[in-house]
Chains A and B, each alone.
Chain A
Amino acid sequence: MNRAKINRLKDKAFKYFGIFASVIGIVILAIFIGFVIYMGIQRLSWDFMVELPSRFAENSGIYTAWMGTVWIMVFTTLISFPLGVGAGIYLEEYGKKNRWSSFLEINISNLASVPSIIYGLLGLGVFVRMMQMGNSILAGALTLSLLILPIIIVSTREAIKAVPSSIRDASNALGASKWQTIWHQVLPASFGGILTGVILALSRAIGETAPLIVVGALVYVPFAPQSPLDEFTVLPVQIYNWVSRPQEEFVINAAAAIIVLLGITFIMNGIAVYFRNKWQNKMQW
Chain B
Amino acid sequence: MNIKEKIIEKVLAFCALLTILTTVGIIAVLLFEAIGFFREVSIVDFLTGTEWTPLFADKNYGILPLVSGTLLTTFIAIAVALPVGLTIAIYLNEYAPKRFRKVLKPLLEVLAVVPTVVYGFFALMIVTPFLKVFIPDLAGFNALSPGIVMGIMIIPFVSSLSEDALAAVPDSLRKASYGMGSTRFQTAFRVMVPAASSGIMVSIILALSRAIGETMIVAIAAGQTPVFTFDPTVPIETITAYIVKVSSGDVPQGTIAYKTIFAAGITLFVVTFILNNISFWIKNRYQEKYE
A residues with CB within 8 A of B = 7-8, 10-11, 14-15, 17-19, 21-26, 28-29, 31-32, 35-36, 39, 82-84, 86-87, 89-91, 94-95, 104, 106-111, 113-122, 124-126, 129, 146, 149-150, 153, 177-179, 203, 206-210, 213-214, 216, 218, 236, 239-240, 243-244, 251, 254-255, 258, 261-262, 265-266, 269, 273
Contacts and interface: CB of A to CB of B under 8 A. Distances in A.
Contacts of B19: 87, 104, 107-108, 111, 149-150, 153
Nearest to B12: A90
Given A83-B15, A86-B11, A17 B220 contact: no
B23 interface: yes
Contact of A210 (B22, B91, B124, B215): B215
Contacts of A32: 122, 126
Contact of B213 (A83, A104, A115): A115
Nearest to A110: B276
Contacts of A113: 206, 209-210, 272, 276
Contacts of A269: 110, 113
B121 A83 contact: no
B265 A117 contact: yes
Contacts of A18: 87-88, 90-92, 95-96
B285 to A, nearest CB: 14
B18 interface: yes
B44 interface: no
27 contacts: A14-B185, A14-B188, A18-B87, A21-B84, A21-B88, A25-B108, A84-B15, A89-B12, A94-B12, A95-B16, A110-B273, A113-B209, A114-B272, A115-B209, A118-B268, A120-B243, A125-B33, A149-B19, A178-B5, A179-B5, A207-B115, A214-B243, A239-B117, A239-B118, A239-B121, A240-B219, A262-B115
Given A25-B152, A109-B276, 4 more contacts: A86-B14, A178-B5, A218-B248, A266-B110
B114 interface: yes
Nearest to B118: A258
B88 A209 contact: no
A121 B261 contact: yes
Contact of A243 (B4, B29, B121): B121
Question: Which of B108, B156, B185 counts the most chain A CB atoms within 10 A?
Answer: B185
Nearest to A85: B15
A118 B269 contact: yes
Contacts of A209: 115-117, 215-216
A254 B104 CA distance: 30
Contacts of B116: 207, 209-210
B86 to A, nearest CB: 9
A208 B213 CA distance: 13
B41 interface: no
A107 B206 CA distance: 15
Contacts of B84: 21, 24-25
Contact of B13 (A21, A90, A273): A90
A86 B213 contact: no
A143 to B, nearest CB: 11
Contacts of A129: 253
Main secondary structure of the interface of B (DSSP, over half): helix
A240 B120 contact: yes
Contacts of A117: 213, 215, 240, 243-244, 265, 268
B204 to A, nearest CB: 14
B25 A22 contact: no
Given A209-B216, A210-B215, A244-B220, A203 B244 contact: no
B14 to A, nearest CB: 8
Among all A-B residue pairs, the 7 with the closest Cβ atoms: A115-B213, A207-B115, A18-B91, A125-B29, A86-B15, A90-B12, A210-B215
B174 interface: no
Contact of A25 (B22, B111, B220, B261): B111
Contacts of A122: 22, 25-26, 29
Interface in B115-168: 115-118, 120-122, 124-126, 152, 155-156
A89 B10 CA distance: 12
B286 interface: no
B113 A26 contact: no
A115 B120 CA distance: 17
Nearest to A125: B29
Interface in B10-66: 11-16, 18-20, 22-23, 25-26, 29-30, 32-33
A22 B253 CA distance: 48
A243 to B, nearest CB: 5
B29 A121 contact: yes
Contacts of B12: 86-87, 89-90, 94
B118 to A, nearest CB: 5
Interface string B179-195: 00001111010000000
A258 B91 CA distance: 33
